[in-house]
Structure formats: C-alpha cells, structure tokens
Amino acid sequence: MIPTTDLLIELANEFPNCGYVKEEQTPVIERMQALAKHRPAIKAIFSGAAGKGMLYEMRMGFDGTMPGACYSDIYAQIWNLYQGGKQDQARELFGRLLVLINMESQAPGTRQYIMKKRGIFKTTMSRQREGQLSPEAMAEIDYNFEGLKPYLKA
C-alpha cells in the first residue's frame, strides 16, 4: 500500500522525525507540491527515480534527489552548479547524465555496468539481476559515458 500525502502529512505533524520525505510515487510532482504546502511539518522533500526530474524539482524549490550511487559525483556537481548560479552549466551536465540514465530503459543493467566500470563493484551482479548486456549495448553505454569523463571525480 502506498501512503497518501495526507497520511505523510499527518505523520509529520505527529512525529517530527517523519517530516523528511523521499517521493517516488506518481504523480511525483503533484505529490511533492501537496507535501510542500505543509512546511514546516514537512521539513524536506526529495525525489528519487534516478534524479530524472532533478533540475525541474530544483526550480520548484524542492530539497534534493536521492538517486542511485553510480553518478553521485555528477549529481553533486549539478547541484553545486545550479546553487552557484550556473544554471546553464548545470543543464548541460544534466543533459550528459540523462543520456546514461535513459540507457537503463534501453539496456537494463546499465547502472551495474557503470558501477563495475568505475571500480565501485567487481561484478555486475546485483540483488535484482545480473546485467547481461550485448556488445552493442556496452559500446553505446561506453560512447555516452565518454561525455561524462571530464566531470568524473573518482
């Protein structure tokens, strides 16, 4: 069962530590907006979904995103660029990242492949599945990953 925004607000009012919400249920933006109307009980609103809506959510005043770990250095740079008044640069970097995020729908296992490529893990095995990418898919991922290389921190 997915909690309603009313339930989340009720919990935040009754239990202050429940005022931090990571919203991933569609319609995400509408739910985030409904939660935001109840600040300060709702202390922070984050999204997930690989950060696909990060820039839009930032412009709307939400507090951040909690995506997967394989691009954490890139997400941090996008955040810092945007908050530092460099929205055009943030958008440029975000566009480079979105190509890879979108690859997951075309080539499931992209994230695991990237985490192995970046030395985070030794294999592409995960609790969900083991990535079985074709040579063509790996070539496409590698091609798109080249666009992020100048921005990688690790």
Q: How far apart are CA 24 and CA 27, in angstroms?
A: 8
Q: Are 121 and 135 in contact (CB under 8 A)?
A: no
- Mean per-residue pLDDT over the chain, rounded: 93
Task: Extract the residue ranges of the chain whose pLDDT is less than 70.
Answer: 128-131
pLDDT computed for residue 131 by the predictor: 62
Whole-model pTM: value is 0.89
Give every CB contact of residue 144 below 8 A, 6+ residues apart in sequence.
Answer: 99, 100, 103
* Helices 135-145/87-106 angle, 10° precision: 170
> 4: which 2 tokens?
């309603």
User: Peptide bond preceding 135: is omega within 30 degrees of 0, i.e. cis?
Assistant: no
Domains of the chain, residue spans: 1-67, 69-154
Collect all residues with Cβ–Cβ distance below 8 Å to 54 and sequence separation of at least 6.
47, 65, 67, 75, 78, 79, 94
